[in-house]
Amino acid sequence: MSINTPALERKSRNLIVTGGAGFIGANFVHHWCGKYPGDRVVVLDALTYAGNRATIAPLEGKANLRFVHGDICDRPLIDGLLKEENIDLIVHFAAESHVDRSILGPGAFVQTNVVGTFTLLEAFRQHWNEKGQPDSFLFHHVSTDEVYGSLGPEDPAFTETTPYQPNSPYSASKAGSDHLVRAYYHTYGMPTLMTNCSNNYGPYHFPEKLIPLMCINILLGKPLPVYGDGQNVRDWLYVGDHCSAIDAVIHGSKPGETYNVGGNNEVKNIDLVHKLCELMDELAPNLPVRPSKQLITFVKDRPGHDRRYAIDATKLKTDLGWTPAQTVETGLRQTVEWYLANQDWWKPLLSAEYQDYYQKVYATC
């Protein structure tokens, strides 16, 4: 659900979507192009391991979409795109985003998430100034609830005023980017917005993440690795709901605002895995192991593993009328059905590099 400017009043926009071939970014590109066909959408993506151009391939034949293979740290490239495409909106998804990978190699996270965001902010600030600082310009930064740290079992959910306490190189790098976005609004008056979301799931999710990993490993008859005791709690947000929330914030809020986006679906990891096993047993024919819960394998917990995340999205509901459309039950069913129907999308991603990474993280499997 979202509240937007009425169609007759809305002016078309020229936007860059960074990380638009990644999981959330690509879903957002599909959402935006479907809803606002008169807008010019430039997808900028470095196509690192988690970026997949095939995800947006159905849109590339449209006259209003342009794909650019490039890095957000490339200032001349960014400057050129802003001018050439007359950009008035940046929606910034591009990020290194997997905690396990940030533990193995934190440098890439600082470079992309901090330096890359700084590069975009500086380029957009110059572009905004050269255009006379129009009110219509906007820089929307997409962040994570992980910047807030970890909650105890009885702690209240994260709000927009919860102090930052990042516990991994990934969340620390995202916290740094958040602070830069805030600073550019307060120091330069540059029109920025920020959303901090809970764990996303849905179509086009790279196989290393928990939900697609479980679905794919069940289909392959491989162990289902669960960290520690499996009692870690996450608030699960269907990616389509996240896209509608960002849409609502862009169209309905004022610069300088921050909104938390959650799915109202707190679930323990082990319970989530059991739900996926039940769905796969129901929906997938000819599984190599049935019931698939036999594949659950507990592995050594990762360092600094936050115990619980929970989002309080009251502000978003109160200010803009947004609430998630999917429950964890409806969203998971749609997600499992998508992975069963789109094996030609995910099978090529199980590369030698992916297998090497998998062995480093889940050595006991």
d(CA 342, CA 58) in angstroms, rounded, equals: 14
170 is catalytic: yes
The answer to whether 146 is a known catalytic residue is yes
Smallest CA-to-CA distance from 261 within 156, 157, 150, 118 is with 157
**Helix or strand (DSSP H, E) at 41:** strand 40-45
Dump strand ranges (E) for 72-223: 89-92, 138-144, 192-197, 199-201
Start-to-end CA span in the chain (Å):
41
Distance from the Cα of residue 2 to its chain's centroid: 18
CA distances for 40 relative to 11, 36, 89, 153, 356, angstroms: 12, 9, 10, 45, 39
Dihedral angle computed from the Cα positions of residues 41, 62, 2 and 335, in that order, rounded to the nearest 10 degrees = -110
Residue from 36, 148, 170, 227 carrying the catalytic annotation: 170
Q: Residue 356: which residues within 8 A CB-CB, separation 6 or more?
A: none
Catalytic residue among 145, 178, 241, 247, which? 145
- Residue 278 is a catalytic residue: no
Per the residue annotation, which of 96, 146, 235, 241 is the catalytic one? Answer: 146
70 burial via Cβ count (<10 Å: 0-12, 13-18, 19+): middle
The phi and psi torsions of 236 (rounded to 5 degrees) equal -95, 130
Q: What is the Cα–Cα distance from 231 to 229, expressed in whole angstroms?
A: 5
Which one, of 157, 143, 262, 258, lies nearest residue 196 by Cα?
143
Q: At 319, is the secondary structure helix, strand, or coil?
A: helix
Distance separating alpha carbons of residues 258 and 193, to the nearest angstrom: 6
d(C-alpha 143, C-alpha 96), whole Å: 11
Which two structure tokens, joined as six digits, stand for 275? 């739900």
Q: Are 310 and 151 in contact (CB under 8 A)?
A: yes
Residues forming the active site: 145-146, 170
